[in-house]
């Protein structure tokens, strides 16, 4: 990235919209135009918010162009992919999209390991680790999604499941996360290199949300596991909460310890609702 978002020292919050398989070209352009130039330019910055939209891949380039038209190279509003191929480079992989292509189309981030990919496409932690590595190689910041099912929670296995997903999904990018470059050492400010999204599977699209205490406990567990895996990044890596976030519960969730932002599906599709989430 030409300009990294600041890290945890200034405690920005990241509001990420995952549009899933929703949105035609006209919808995407209307969404940005509704948000308005002034809001994109000033309001996000004033509230220390970074807004990131992950639209379907065909919308990345036109949305990036529309953003450039509205706000030039402003960086408080960015784009992300929803998934990328685990294959390195390019080649004969029908239907796949390379992290490099997402970057080429204007993305700065990429979701990997979303629960809908893990369940519907049988994605394993090993595959998610390879996707995270491809994202990093392409210069994208991977947003690695984790979360337990309802049965796993009821069996008291939340930390075991989330811990395993975290260790295995980060495995290939740990050398990158642990490497401190000259500039980081000089300024004592680690760069933003990856994000974690904790999304309990049972909370996605259901209207159910864990209690603030439960969110705090799991985020605290993720933070301490990051401390073991990549100490240099542990304090600064944003940990987002996702699963049935709406404008009316967003500020309570953002106020929970160790919640650095939100990953939002349904409520991010409507521009007014997304604006409300960013102002929460
Ligand atoms: P939801 O989806 O906000 O509609 O529950 C969240 C997600 O799947 O990332």
The reported pLDDT for the residue numbered 241 is: 98
The model's pTM:
0.94
Distance 273 CA to ligand 1 centre (A): 14
Sign of the four-CA dihedral 260, 265, 266, 269: positive
> Which residues of the chain fall below pLDDT 50?
1-3, 6-9
The reported pLDDT for the residue numbered 112 is: 98
Mutate to test the pocket of ligand 1, among 197, 201, 244 (most ligand atoms within 8 A of CB): 244
Which protein residue's CA is at the shortest distance from atom 1 of ligand 1? 265
pLDDT tens digits for 245-270?
999 999 999 999 999 999 999 999 99
- Which atom of ligand 1 is closest in space to residue 246's alpha carbon? 3
Catalytic annotation on 199?
yes
Catalytic annotation on 219?
no
- Residues having CB closer than 6 A to ligand 1 are 18, 199, 204-205, 242-245, 263-267
Distance 217 CA to ligand 1 centre (A): 20
The reported pLDDT for the residue numbered 3 is: 47
How many residues does this entry show for the chain? 280
Distance 269 CA to ligand 1 centre (A): 11
The reported pLDDT for the residue numbered 104 is: 97
């Amino acid at each position: 990235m030409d300009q990294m978002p600041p890290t945890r020292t200034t405690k920005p919050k990241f509001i990420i919209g995952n549009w899933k398989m929703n949105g035609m070209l006209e919808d995407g352009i209307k969404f940005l135009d509704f948000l308005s130039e002034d809001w994109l330019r000033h309001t996000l910055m004033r509230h220390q918010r970074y807004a990131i939209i992950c639209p379907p891949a065909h919308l990345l380039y036109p949305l990036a162009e529309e953003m450039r038209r509205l706000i030039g190279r402003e960086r408080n509003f960015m784009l992300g992919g929803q998934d990328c191929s685990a294959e390195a480079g390019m080649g004969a992989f029908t239907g796949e999209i390379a992290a490099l292509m997402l970057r080429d189309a204007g993305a700065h981030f990429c979701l990997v390991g979303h629960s809908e990919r893990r369940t519907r496409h049988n994605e394993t932690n090993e595959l998610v680790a390879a996707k995270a590595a491809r994202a990093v190689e392409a210069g994208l910041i991977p947003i690695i999604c984790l979360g337990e099912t309802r049965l796993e929670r009821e069996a008291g296995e939340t930390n075991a499941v989330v811990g395993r997903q975290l260790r295995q999904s980060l495995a290939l990018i740990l050398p990158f996360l642990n490497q401190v470059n000259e500039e980081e050492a000089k300024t004592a400010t680690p760069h933003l290199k990856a994000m974690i999204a904790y999304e309990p599977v049972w909370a996605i699209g259901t209207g159910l949300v864990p209690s603030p205490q439960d969110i705090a406990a799991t985020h605290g567990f993720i933070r301490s596991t990051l401390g073991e895996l990549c100490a240099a990044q542990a304090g600064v890596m944003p940990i987002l909460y996702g699963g049935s976030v709406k404008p009316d519960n967003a500020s309570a969730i953002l106020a929970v310890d160790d919640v650095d932002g939100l990953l939002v599906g349904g409520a991010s599709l409507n521009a007014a609702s997304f604006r409300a989430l960013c102002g929460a």
